[in-house]
Amino acid sequence: MNLINHRPELAGLPEPKGKPGAEGIVPRIRRAALALLWTLKPPRLWGVPGTLWVLAKHYAGLKSKDRLPDPERALRHPDGLAGICTDLSAPTLLAAYRKGLFPLAHIGPQKWWAPAERMVSFPGSVHISKHVRRLLRNKQFRVTFDSAFGVVIRACAEPRPGKLPLTWIRPDIIEAYEALYEAGYAHSVEVWDRQGNLAGGLYGVAIGKAFITESMFARRTEASKVAFVVLSCHLQHWGFRLNDGKRYSEHLRSLGFRLIPRREFNTLLAQACSVPARPGHWSIDPELDVAQWEPQPRPGEA
């Protein structure tokens, strides 16, 4: 569906380009070279033998007969590698997320991951900085849900200043998550400046009452944090139990995420997935005043 022609707030934004899943030979070679540099940097280098062993078992036909691997049997080196992913269809992705698995690969086949520790945020324990609170009160940005999913996921794949221009958000991931979006399980948050430009946002997946934040981006200072706070306010209002950020980062820590052991995460995830989901495209609740929102932790979340 051409979202830009159906949503007025997308006027002037570029239409997502390229055949779904397609990647030219030159970009693939460039990706391979960058991925090699990324892989050979310690401590990631120590995970190469384990990765090669998992690949060898897979291509030798020695993999588990189960469609999805057991997250509790994931490798320690590299941390969380559980198996090879050959199917990115919506049903498989949803089943994987319910087990605590997620796909990721910079090069080669997609792989299932379940790190020993997960970076988790509880909607009632979100950190809202004074600056972000001020931006919300002054209405410096306008926030929407599910208005430009294709644009947001491609923006998340763009190179970050000062970092290696390598992304795991490959064309096959974009195709798979756009299908998940059309099915009503993947969602985007868009942050617009006063001139109508896309200033930042994030996208993720909702299963039961759990949200998995896949990636964020910001073209204006604090725009991704505004996206996260607005989303978290809605998640708490809708009864969501947790937000999974997957791996540790300083950015996630500043938002209130914290590390918990994989077994504890999977227990919380199972509880969240036992609650009916909220499928379909989301929209901002006009009755929620996010600028005045004071997160209230549930017992055990602080």
Sheet holding 81-85, edge to edge: 81-85, 110-113, 102-104
pLDDT tens digits, one per residue of 133-181: 999 999 999 999 999 999 999 999 998 877 767 789 999 999 999 999 9
- Whether 205 and 180 have beta carbons less than 8 Å apart is answered as yes
pLDDT tens digits, one per residue of 203-230: 999 999 999 999 999 999 999 999 999 9
The predicted model scores a pTM of 0.86
Share of the chain above pLDDT 90, in %: 72
Widest Cα–Cα separation across the chain: 59
Distance CA 142, CA 201 (A): 11
Q: What is the pLDDT of residue 52?
A: 87
Arithmetic mean of pLDDT over the chain: 88
For residue 76, the one-letter residue type is: R
Distance CA 10, CA 188 (A): 14
**Choice among 90-94, 106-110, 186-190, 194-198 with the minimum mean pLDDT:** 106-110
Q: Is 167 helix (H, G, I), strand (E, B) or coil?
A: coil
CB environment 248-257: b (16+ within 10 A), e (fewer): eeeebeebbb
Token pair belonging to 58: 């897979």
Residue 300, pLDDT above cutoff 80:
no
Cβ atoms within 10 Å, residue 63: 14
In the structure, what pLDDT confidence band is assigned to residue 268 with cuts at 50, 70 and 90? very high
**Choice among 5-19, 194-208, 217-231, 258-272 with the minimum mean pLDDT:** 5-19
In the structure, what pLDDT confidence band is assigned to residue 67 with cuts at 50, 70 and 90? confident
- Whether 103 and 85 have beta carbons less than 8 Å apart is answered as yes
Pairing of strands 242-246, 258-261: unpaired
